[in-house]
């Protein structure tokens, strides 16, 4: 579905043909976040996980005057307290030259619309604590920090060890 948010910008759902673009945008985001060393995906696996028979996430592409300038990658989570699904925004990125154009706001508005259409209780995401411009941007849109929560992660060898202990 493509929908014009104004004359110069549009938001559309990504297709498998967008995989090279999505990979490039992920790498650009990682550079911006000073996390390029963390990018390890294989494009064939990414294609399978995004566009295969059981997609694990969805991607919106933000365009300005027909040129892709940003993306939002998201998936569903579930709130047991609400008894409803939610949307978790894994990544939101707008290329530096397009910042201030309203494209980031348009991507978030589209996600909010999707959340409402799918009867989701909430839209949430994480932001690096040093990224003051992003935090200010999100607050201006009505987002509030969840300071009482700490993100926890098990990955790599710790994940393998935890899984081994289950068998």
Q: What is the CATH number of the domain that holds 68?
A: 3.40.630.30
Q: Which residues are catalytic?
A: 138
Using alpha carbons, select from 117, 18, 7 the residue that is nearest to residue 60: 18
Token pair in block for residue 132? 């003051």
159 has pLDDT over 50 = yes
- Which residue range(s) make up the domain with 13? 2-164
Contact between 136 and 143 under an 8 Å Cβ cutoff? The reply is no
The model's pLDDT over 124-137, given as tens digits with 9 standing for 90+, comes to 999 999 999 999 99
- Tokens representing 45 are 């696996």
Q: Are 147 and 114 in contact (CB under 8 A)?
A: no
pLDDT tens per residue, range 15-54: 999 999 999 999 999 999 999 999 999 999 999 999 999 9
Q: What kind and span of H or E run contains 11?
A: strand 9-13
Tally of domains in the chain:
1
How far apart are the C-alpha atoms of 126 and 167, rounded to whole Å? 32
């Amino acid at each position: 579905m493509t929908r014009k948010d104004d004359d110069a910008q549009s938001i559309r759902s990504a297709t498998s043909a967008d995989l090279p673009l999505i990979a490039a945008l992920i790498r650009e985001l990682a550079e911006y976040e000073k996390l390029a060393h963390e990018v390890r995906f294989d494009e064939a696996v990414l294609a399978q996980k995004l566009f295969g028979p059981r997609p694990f996430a969805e991607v919106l592409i933000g365009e300005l005057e027909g040129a892709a300038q940003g993306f939002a990658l998201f998936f569903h989570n579930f709130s047991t307290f609400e008894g409803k699904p939610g949307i978790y925004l894994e990544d939101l990125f707008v290329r530096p030259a397009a910042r201030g154009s309203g494209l980031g706001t348009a991507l978030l508005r589209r996600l909010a619309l999707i959340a409402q259409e799918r009867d989701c209780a909430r839209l949430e995401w994480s932001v690096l604590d040093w990224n003051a411009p992003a935090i200010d941007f999100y607050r201006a849109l009505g987002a509030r920090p969840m300071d009482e929560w700490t993100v926890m992660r098990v990955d790599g060898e710790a994940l393998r060890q935890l899984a081994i202990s289950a068998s």
